[in-house]
Structure 1
């Protein structure tokens, strides 16, 4: 077992700092380059506010704006659909103009639209504010993709896994802030959180402005404009991967309803399950991503993930009708297995996302990838509600089987894609 470096009394403070920094980099706890650290810090600040906002926006709309539950759901659905349309064109713009400046612009727009929510007093004002926020958010994701690819260098899977761990950690702190606001439950508290989220966009921009500007990469002259949408193998990958990403909603959406409506387990188990999932992702995602380089290996990781999802969901499904303590034990095992699957899937998915896209069009391809994930989050609540909650045990097994089929199909899509591009399993 490696140990943290020790230093003698005659070592300088600079040497101590360098030694500890080197040890942290080796352990995967610190990124090696300055741009990578800045991008990770900006992502942490951004996700911190976003997570808190997403957890409280329905209550803000209900308590402060005085909308009905139906209006809140409709408004958020409209915003989610609107957010899907901007990723591809903005990603193309990032490829042609440089991703950093476009990303900064989307953050500033989100800061303004989020702050405008404080002035919303009607349904359409609410819809406009959240729709512009979602539109800029999806645009920012498309612009961020090329930055991850180019600042990640030869270690894109490791870098992206680090970013996912950071995002999960930020989401945990954001959820805690949201919980405190919901406990206070006053207009002032909700407004303070909205304002705080607006400030996180500015804070993220303040970090990113220190990054070096990335110049656009040259593209072939005879290449069409919307190449990502015409790339059938990549679109097939996005469809399959979007189905696989439904797994991210299993523990946050389906499990809480399953625990409350179909098992004898105590309700506090939901918080414990999410905490275990978060800790596993934060500490194991980087390690899981090591060695997953190239299309074949990434496809195998996604295939393993599908099998793990079926196993984990099958175990969770058996908790119905068991005594409370037995249900907790069974479901915790299922949660752990499901989380292992999510680690494999994330590592494989994020490798393929960049591996299958040409370097000069990462923004446009990131927009297509983001649309697939966006559609997943639109579909997931209804699908999981029908299968896992309404149908019960057979539905859990059917959803798990869908993951298996998608995972098994992924290597064939990768082979199809490999006929027209280089996806060899070697470091680049």
Structure 2
């Protein structure tokens, strides 16, 4: 009895230590991400002298590569050790970022962008698969993912602050130093991830490749529908600033306050909210109330057309709180459903499908809000709210269908 008990205890210690390292790694890499995503547009166009058209083509190619590679890279983690695959993908992203320091030539920029952006979705899928390999049970897995998201948002906020200093200085040396700093954060993440205890794949895992998830129509229906609710991210990054500047007389700085509310709320509440999505049924219910909360936020924003003064600020702030509740619920529900419904012998491929679905929505999300709000005004917010409700309502029935087929 002593041997097996000691072995279980040792595995638990390895898992706890590994999850802790992943949290630290996520926070450090997010520090570099926040820095990079604050400066990249000006770095490419002003410092490297690349045309906006070329930058757009590179981002489109990288996004397409990410969509195509997410499921195969996830399947690769099923066949081999997820930790090793994640280390390799992170090293590729570090090398690609280093390539941006020498990306004055268009072909160098395109290669670096395809590698950097194209591997991002796959890395996210493999990271989730690694968490699932370290700990059993949906509740513990989603809690671990929630802690990583908290660390990610803290890192983003600090990195964005550093990026704002680079923008304020507006010196070529500062931009290049920021690129080097991001390379360093990726290198640190490589080292930290390499110290996570290896979890050998199950015998026979991954041999079927991507076929199981591509044939799993119930799973694809659930994650595909839930992924549409990731429109909530573009709602904040694209829809709200566009609306404040064109549809209201409110200060554009209000968008910064809303972003701050969201960031602080995620840091304080994501772990707690994720606990509500520990089973398929509870995750499905969480998705429903998330959709309702996001729809309410859209309806509130629709009432602010032409608004000004304290009353308008109060309504936008209230909408921000509903948006926060909806985003927290969407993320928790997405984790709960995708982790609970996936096949244990194909974790990476299943998480790759989830990442690909979300990335597809994110590709069109900014355009959706831009078109809806510029063509329909306040009616665009009502359309967005209807989309959130339409996606959330069928989730419980689809989740029950998927659960019956596991």
- Asked if 1:189 corresponds to 2:174, the answer is yes
Q: How far did 1:85 drift?
A: 1.3
Q: How far did 1:326 drift?
A: 1.9
- Asked if 1:270 corresponds to 2:262, the answer is no
Distance 1:125 1:210, change over 3 A: same
CA distance in 1, matches of 2:269, 2:124: 24
Distance 1:189 1:231, change over 3 A: same
What is the aligned partner in structure 2 of residue 246 from structure 1? 231
What is the aligned partner in structure 2 of residue 426 from structure 1? none
Summarize deviations over 1:270-312 as a string: whole Å, max 9, x none.
Answer: 1111000111111011111224221111101001111111101
The normalised TM-score by structure 1 is 0.88
Summarize deviations over 1:250-275 as a string: whole Å, max 9, x none.
Answer: 11111111111211111221111100
Q: Is the 8 A contact 1:387 1:395 kept in 2?
A: yes
Q: How far did 1:242 drift?
A: 1.8
Aligned partner of 1:69 among 41, 44, 52: 52
Query: How well do the aligned residues superpose, as a CA RMSD in angstroms?
Result: 1.7
What is the aligned partner in structure 2 of residue 165 from structure 1? 150
Q: Is the 8 A contact 2:280 2:340 kept in 1?
A: yes
- Asked if 1:36 corresponds to 2:19, the answer is yes
Q: How far did 1:224 drift?
A: 6.9
Aligned partner of 2:41 among 55, 58, 69: 58
What is the aligned partner in structure 2 of residue 100 from structure 1? 83
Q: Is the 8 A contact 1:241 1:372 kept in 2?
A: no
Summarize the alignment of residues 119-268 of structure 1 with structure 2, pairs less than 5 Å apart.
119-154=102-137, 155-219=140-204, 226-268=211-253
Q: How far did 1:116 drift?
A: 0.9
- Asked if 1:334 corresponds to 2:300, the answer is no
- Gapped runs of 5+ residues in structure 1? 1-31, 422-428
CA distance in 1, matches of 2:118, 2:165: 28
Q: How far did 1:33 drift?
A: 2.1
The normalised TM-score by structure 2 is 0.92
Q: Is the 8 A contact 2:75 2:206 kept in 1?
A: no
What is the aligned partner in structure 2 of residue 83 from structure 1? 66
- What secondary structure does 2:394 align onto? helix
What is the aligned partner in structure 2 of residue 300 from structure 1? 285
Number of residue pairs the alignment of both structures matches: 390
Q: How far did 1:182 drift?
A: 1.0
CA distance in 1, matches of 2:267, 2:317: 18
- Gapped runs of 5+ residues in structure 2? 1-14
What is the aligned partner in structure 2 of residue 12 from structure 1? none
Q: Is the 8 A contact 1:83 1:137 kept in 2?
A: yes
- Asked if 1:318 corresponds to 2:267, the answer is no
Q: Is the 8 A contact 2:276 2:286 kept in 1?
A: no
CA distance in 2, matches of 1:247, 1:390: 19
CA distance in 1, matches of 2:394, 2:204: 31
Distance 1:225 1:366, change over 3 A: closer
CA distance in 1, matches of 2:131, 2:365: 27
